[in-house]
A and B are shown apart, each in its own frame.
Chain A
Amino acid sequence: MHSFINFIMGPMVWISFLIFFCGVIFKLFQVIKQVNEKENFIYTYLSVKHSFRSIFAWMIPFLPVSTRKSPVFYTVSYLFHLLLFIVPIFLLSHVALFEESMQWSWMTFNDTVADTLTLIVIFSLIFFMIRRVVVPEVKFLTRLSDFFFILIVALPFVTGFLAYHQFFAYKWMVITHVISGELMLILIPFTRFSHMFMAPLTRAYTGSEFGNVRHAKDW
């Protein structure tokens, strides 16, 4: 059992990060290759200025008109995406484990704060799930796999929360927590989680078309 735990909390963490980074690079190359083959007309109007204009405009909360039309959804969405990164990166137990293997550490959240933020992430995911069932236009576009991906994201947060409080089956909760976190990391490049690094490309594409062709804003 100890060697299994040692593997998932040691080498497997680095293997997951390696697959994640290699997957991201592979996917980016693949997309550029596909664009070159099938849609190279993009290059006639793709512009650095309009690309970055669009990327930055969409990074400012509630600047784009469509975000102001659905304030509740975008508030939850902004919070969720921010916390999805911030909570795990600045979590005391994660930093402590990192320090033990790499000899360097950084600032961490107070455990109580992190606990509350974790709950916000979990409730955001529940909100996204309900939205997919309740809002007609979203329901129309929803497939079963969408719920599966929400569950994949929820799993490390829910098991992390339960493990922290040591409610029940502590050991198995931690093991599930570690494995589900690694699974999520590995899945990012190859599933719809790839919007993590594809979003800027989408913005560059749309921003250039709106800015450079239609001479309009895309936000």
Chain B
Amino acid sequence: MKYKRFVWLAALIFILSVFNVYSQEILVVDNTIFNRPQRPAAVFDHDDHNEKAQLEEDCSICHHVYDENNVRIEDESSEDSLCSECHSLKKIPENSIPLRMAFHNRCKQCHFKSDKGPVLCGECHIRK
């Protein structure tokens, strides 16, 4: 009898701890495309960020679409595609802004302009 109770208790603790781990997870940018990234993935909670930055209306600021002549297409947005689909890792004729630079400039330019949000390396690439 005592043994059974112990198993239930252990199971309960296990479930709670797993749940706890997920509830405390820090959301980060998916950096798996980078070949052996040297810094921890940048901290970024999409929904929380857009609520704070009041961006819910205009997704195309980040999820933008540019035509062949490097002109932004106003009414289109690119939520369905990954950043890396256009911004390749290395600079190529079809893409003048490599991925790392695209991430950095996208975040920092807005943050500097609005005087809000992180702008220094370690403010996004946080070591645990």
Chain A residues in the interface with B (C-beta under 8 A): 1-3, 5-6, 92-93, 96, 99-100, 103, 110-111, 163-166, 170-171, 174
Check B115 for interface membership: any CB of A closer than 8 A: yes
Q: Residues of B contacting A3 with CB < 8 Å? A: 112, 115
* Minimal Cβ-Cβ distance residue in A for B125: A166
Q: Residues of A contacting B126 with CB < 8 Å? A: 166
Q: Residues of A contacting B108 with CB < 8 Å? A: 100
Q: Can you list 13 pairs linking A and B with CB atoms under 8 Å apart?
A: A2-B111, A5-B120, A92-B38, A93-B121, A100-B101, A100-B104, A100-B108, A103-B96, A163-B121, A164-B122, A165-B127, A166-B122, A166-B127
Q: Residues of A contacting B127 with CB < 8 Å? A: 165-166
Chain B: residues with Cβ within 8 Å of the partner, total of 19
In the complex, the number of residue pairs spanning A and B with C-beta atoms less than 8 Å apart equals 41
| Segment 95-110 of B: residues with Cβ below 8 Å from A | 96, 100-101, 104-105, 108
Q: Specify the main secondary structure of chain A where it touches its partner.
A: helix
The complex places the Cα of A110 from the Cα of B36 at a distance, in Å, of 10
Tell me if A96 and B120 are in contact (CB < 8 A).
no
Partner of A6, one of B104, B112, B123: B112
Residue of B39, B104, B121 with highest tally of chain A CB at under 10 A: B121
Tell me if B119 and A110 are in contact (CB < 8 A).
no
* Minimal Cβ-Cβ distance residue in B for A110: B38
Q: Residues of B contacting A111 with CB < 8 Å? A: 38-39
A8 to chain B, nearest CB (A): 11
Partner of B115, one of A2, A99, A164, A166: A2
Q: Residues of B contacting A165 with CB < 8 Å? A: 127
The complex places the Cα of A170 from the Cα of B125 at a distance, in Å, of 12
B126 to chain A, nearest CB (A): 7
Q: A1-B115, A96-B101, A166-B122 are in contact. List 10 more A-B contacts (CB 8 A).
A: A2-B111, A5-B120, A92-B38, A100-B101, A100-B108, A110-B38, A163-B121, A164-B122, A170-B120, A170-B123
* Minimal Cβ-Cβ distance residue in A for B97: A103
Residue of A1, A2, A170 with highest tally of chain B CB at under 10 A: A2
Residue of A3, A100, A111, A165 with highest tally of chain B CB at under 10 A: A100
Q: A92-B38, A96-B104, A100-B101 are in contact. Are A163 and B122 (CB under 8 A)?
A: yes
B116 to chain A, nearest CB (A): 8
Partner of B100, one of A96, A103, A164, A174: A96
Tell me if B123 and A2 are in contact (CB < 8 A).
no
B92 to chain A, nearest CB (A): 14
A5 to chain B, nearest CB (A): 6
The complex places the Cα of A152 from the Cα of B35 at a distance, in Å, of 36
Q: A92-B38, A111-B38 are in contact. Are A171 and B120 (CB under 8 A)?
A: yes
Residue of B108, B111, B120 with highest tally of chain A CB at under 10 A: B120
Q: Residues of A contacting B123 with CB < 8 Å? A: 170-171
